[in-house]
Each structure stands twice: as structure tokens, then as C-alpha cells.
Amino acid sequence: MTKSKTIICRCEDVTLEEIEAVIEKGYTSMDEIKRITRCGMGQCQGRTCRTLLLAELARATKTHPNDIKVTTYRPPVKNVKMSVILGGMEDEENS
């Protein structure tokens, strides 16, 4: 399979080719790559691509994955509708 067809981040459609291109440009931290390519910023919040990206970065920079800083896990853990949050509040208007 070609690199332009290998998807690393499914939510944001980021290919291996794009990841390699930004690493080539000198963006060698997960935090930078996430923000430039949106890899891991989609609906699943990097559930699959976080490890794939980590592995690619480790390979490309010849670093042990343990020595690479992983991007922050941010709340909420799962996507949640606003109505669900409002429903949990004691507010007549929204119940």
C-alpha cells in the first residue's frame, strides 16, 4: 500500500505521507504534528492514531517511544451532547 493511501488518523484523514512530510520539515514533537496536521484532533481524540503517530515518530527520529512526550489527554473522555450535560443540571428550562 502506498504511503499516500495509508491513513494514520481516520477522523481527520491524515496520511502517512503527510506525517512524514511534516517530520521532514523539522516538526518532531507529537504536540507540533498534532496541531499542524490535526492528527488526533478529531472525534475519537486520537484513540487509534496516537500510538500510530508515536511509532512513526520513534522510527523517523530514531528515538525510543518511551522517550517521546505524548500529547495531553483532554476531557471529556467521550463525545457528549450539550443536552446531556444540561439535562444533568438543576435548571427547569433545560430539563
Partner 1 sequence: MKKTAEVVIIGGGISGLSIAYNLASRGMRDVVVLEKSYLFSGSTGRCGAGVRQQWGTEMNCALGKATCEIFENLNEILDFEDDIEFKQGGYLMMAITEKEVEQFKKNIELQHSMGIPSIMLTPREALDIVPELNIEGILACTFCHKDGHANPFKTMQAYAEAARRHGAEIYTYTEVTGIDVEENRIKGVHTNNGYISTEKIVIAAGAWSRQVGMLAGCEVPVRPERHQILVTEPVNPILGPMLMSFAGNIYLQQEPGGEFIMGFGPAEHETFNISSTWDFVETMCKKATRYLPYMKNVRIVRQWAGLYEMSPDAQPILGKAEEVEGVYLATGFSGHGFMFGPITGQLMAEYILGFPTTLPIDKLDVGRFKRGELIFEPSVV
The binding site for partner 1 (CB under 8 A) comprises: 25, 27, 29, 31-32, 35-36, 41-43, 45, 72, 74-76, 79-83, 85-86, 89, 91, 94
CB of 64 to partner 1, least distance (A): 18
Question: Whole-angstrom Cα distance, residue 89 to residue 44?
Answer: 26
CB of 82 to partner 1, least distance (A): 4
Contact 43, 11 (CB under 8 A): yes
Residues 6+ apart with CB under 8 A from 38: 9, 12, 14
Residue closer to partner 1 by CB (options 2, 79) is: 79
